[in-house]
Structures are given as C-alpha cells and as structure tokens.
C-alpha cells in the first residue's frame, strides 16, 4: 500500500477489522501509534517523504486487569508449584515486588543480621531505593535459601532454578499447571502485586508506607493497584455499623411544642 492511500476512512476500516479479530484496544492503539510515528517521521524529512498526515483516531483503553489472589487461592497455587518456586511466590505475595526484581535479588542485598532486604537506586523500575523488613515466614524462607546456597553452587541470587545452578528464568509452564491443578483459573504472576497492595492496606498500614513496600512511585498507579472489591465494601459497612453502635448518646434530645402567641386564634 502506498502512503498516499492511507487516509482516515481506511484507518477506521483497519481498526474495525482488528476489533473483529479480537485485538484489545490497547494493542490497536499501539499499532496506530507506530503508524502515526512513521508518518510523522516521513513528513519531517527534507524534502518531505509524506505530504500529509491523516487524522488517526485512537480507541478508549480500559484494559487494566483487576485480578488478585484470595488467601486460599494463594495457598492452593503455592502447594501445586514445584518446591523451588514456593518461597519465590511467597515473597511476591507478601511484598508485591515485581517478578524481575525478585529474580535478580542477590544476597548482597540481604542483611541477614537484621533480616532486611534492600533494592538500591537503579535496581528498581522507578529508580528509587526500597527497604523491607522480613516477617517470620519470610525469615524462614531466606534461612532455608541460605542453607541451600551453602550446599550448592554458592550463587549470588537468593532464589534459584529447579536444579539450583542458576537464576529462575521462565516458569510459565509450571505456573499454568499449578493454576490449573489449584482450580483458580487463569491467574497472572503480576496479580500478586495487586494482592499485596490490597492486603498491606487492609492490615491497617498507611498507604504511603504501603507504596514504599511495593515500590509504587506515583499515587495514580498505586490507586490502580489498590483495588476495592465487594469484600472491602462489606467490611467498610461492618466497621461503620460497629462505630455507630459504639457511640453513646450524651444528651437526650426532646421535641417540644412552640409556645402559643397571644392574640392568635388556636382553633385554626
């Protein structure tokens, strides 16, 4: 197709064809953005390679996933995973760290005396440092990983692959099988991130602290992960009910009639 043949009606037909094929709006928009970029580059050449750039309509995106793990779902999928992934997913479930951050976590980032884990600037997606304190369950996991390291290859990474000879890489097959065996449907590993944010906030931790743990830099992105579901709404109603019942009436309110004014008939 020649560039001169690309116009808005043809682009709209392309959009409809992609929708009919089942493509997501976000996917189509990325394709349209690439086309727009290509046309603009051609138009900015000297002499121009493209004489005009047609209007390219973009689609409304609403593809934000809202998946998360209830605690029972997490326990079921963890039980179905190979042993080398159990500690890995537990860390993800509790902290909300990104998969790549956990895969690349090394012992040099772990203070085993105080059981603190660090991510230094440049090691995170938003380039900000991060510090978390391990709870008792995670302490035990890290202690076990350290003992496995001493018995094996003395690798720098905290979590290793199935044979203990390298970092965890692609475990999509094991993950899908575990989800199927657990009967929890099509879950994503990234759903742990949303789950951790929700659980941290539910536990009463201030949201600014929760953002420090999960590594969310902007409020808008954090709010997208801090999902409210029916359970949250029910809990809110229950908390409000309990609060209202706890309030004691300190002053009795009575309703009295207004005094009759002299000179005004009272019989209507």
Cα 125 to Cα 146: distance, rounded to the nearest angstrom? 26
Residues 85 and 210 in one domain: yes
Using the structure block, give the residue that is written with the tokens 């602290």: 209
Is residue 158 in some structural domain? yes
Beta carbons within 10 angstroms of residue 21's beta carbon:
9
Q: Which domain holds residue 27?
A: 1-63
Residues 43 and 98 in one domain: no
The yes-or-no verdict on residue 221 having pLDDT over 60 is: no
Contact, 82 vs 174, CB < 8 A?
yes
The yes-or-no verdict on residue 233 having pLDDT over 70 is: no
Least confident among 26-35, 78-87, 106-115, 219-228 = 219-228
Is residue 265 in some structural domain? no
Residues 155 and 43 in one domain: no
- The DSSP-derived string for 7-62 is -HHHHHHHHHHHHHTT--HHHHHHHHHHHHHHHHHHHTSSS-S-S-------PPP-
The yes-or-no verdict on residue 14 having pLDDT over 50 is: yes
Task: For residue 242, name the pLDDT band (cuts at 50, 70, 90).
Answer: confident
Cα 86 to Cα 77: distance, rounded to the nearest angstrom? 9
Q: What is the mean pLDDT of residues 176-200?
A: 89
Cis peptide before 47 (omega within 30 of 0): yes
Residues 113 and 40 in one domain: no
Task: For residue 229, name the pLDDT band (cuts at 50, 70, 90).
Answer: low
Is residue 253 in some structural domain? no
Task: For residue 119, name the pLDDT band (cuts at 50, 70, 90).
Answer: confident
Q: What is the per-residue pLDDT for 264?
A: 47
User: Of the spans 180-189, 200-209, 213-222, which averages the highest pLDDT?
Assistant: 180-189
Q: What is the per-residue pLDDT for 163?
A: 85
Task: For residue 32, name the pLDDT band (cuts at 50, 70, 90).
Answer: very high
Higher pLDDT, 118 or 123: 118
Q: What is the CATH number of the domain that holds 103?
A: 1.10.443.10
Domain count of the fold of the chain:
2
Q: What is the per-residue pLDDT for 223?
A: 53
The yes-or-no verdict on residue 47 having pLDDT over 60 is: yes
Query: Using the 8-state DSSP alphabet, how is residue 119 labeled?
Result: E
Cα 203 to Cα 206: distance, rounded to the nearest angstrom? 9
């Amino acid at each position: 197709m020649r560039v001169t043949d690309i116009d808005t009606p043809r682009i709209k037909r392309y959009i409809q064809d992609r929708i009919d094929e089942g493509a997501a709006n976000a996917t189509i928009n990325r394709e349209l953005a690439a086309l727009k970029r290509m046309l603009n580059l051609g138009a900015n050449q000297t002499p121009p390679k493209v004489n005009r750039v047609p209007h390219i309509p973009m689609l409304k995106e609403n593809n934000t996933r809202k998946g998360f793990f209830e605690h029972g779902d997490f326990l079921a999928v963890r039980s179905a995973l190979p042993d080398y992934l159990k500690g890995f997913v537990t860390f993800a479930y509790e902290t909300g760290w990104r998969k790549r951050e956990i895969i690349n976590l090394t012992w040099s980032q772990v203070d085993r005396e105080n059981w603190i884990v660090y991510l230094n600037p440049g090691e995170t997606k938003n380039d900000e440092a991060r510090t978390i304190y391990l709870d008792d369950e995670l302490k035990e996991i890290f202690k076990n990983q350290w003992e496995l390291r001493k018995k094996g290859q003395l690798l720098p990474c905290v979590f290793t692959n199935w044979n203990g000879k390298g970092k965890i890489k692609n475990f999509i097959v094991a993950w899908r099988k575990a989800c199927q065996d657990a009967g929890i449907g099509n879950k994503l590993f990234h759903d742990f991130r949303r789950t951790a944010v929700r659980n941290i906030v539910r536990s009463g931790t201030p949201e600014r602290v929760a953002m420090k743990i999960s590594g969310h830099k902007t409020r808008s992105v954090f709010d997208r992960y801090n999902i409210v579901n029916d359970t949250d709404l029910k809990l809110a109603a229950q908390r409000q009910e309990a609060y209202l019942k706890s309030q004691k009436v300190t002053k009795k309110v009575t309703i009295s009639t207004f005094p009759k004014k002299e000179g005004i008939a009272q019989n209507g």
